[in-house]
Amino acid sequence: MASAIARTTYNLFFRRSSSYMVGIFASAFAFEIAFDGAADRLWDSVNKGRQWKDIRSKYIEEQ
Partner 1 sequence: MFSRAAYTTGTRAFRAPSFAQGRMASTQAGPGPFGADRKAAIAWFTKAAAGSAILGYGVSNYIATDERIAPLSKALSDSVNALQKKADDLGLKLPFTVAHAFSTADHGLHPPHYPWDHYKPWKTYDHASIRRGFQVYKEVCSACHSMEYIHYRNLVGVSHTEAEAKELAAEYEYKDGPNDVGEMFMRPGKLTDAMPAPYPNEEAARAANGGAYPPDLSCIVRARHGEEDYIFSLLLGYCDPPAGVTVREGLHYNPYFPGGAIAMARALYDEVCEYDDGTPNNASQLAKDVTTFLSWASYPEHDERKKMGLKTLAISTMLLGLSVWWKRFKWSYIKSRKIVYKPGKFDEV
Binding site for partner 1 (CB under 8 A): 35-36, 39-40, 43, 46-47, 50-52, 54-56, 58-61
For the chain, the C-alpha Rg in angstroms (whole number) is: 21
* Cβ proximity to partner 1, 10 vs 35, nearer residue: 35
Alpha helices in 1-63 (DSSP H): 2-9, 17-46, 52-55
The rounded distance, in Å, linking the Cα atoms of 1 and 62 is: 57
Q: How far is the CB of 36 from partner 1 (least distance, A)?
A: 8
Q: Are 6 and 12 in contact (CB under 8 A)?
A: no
* Cβ proximity to partner 1, 18 vs 62, nearer residue: 62
* Cβ proximity to partner 1, 18 vs 59, nearer residue: 59
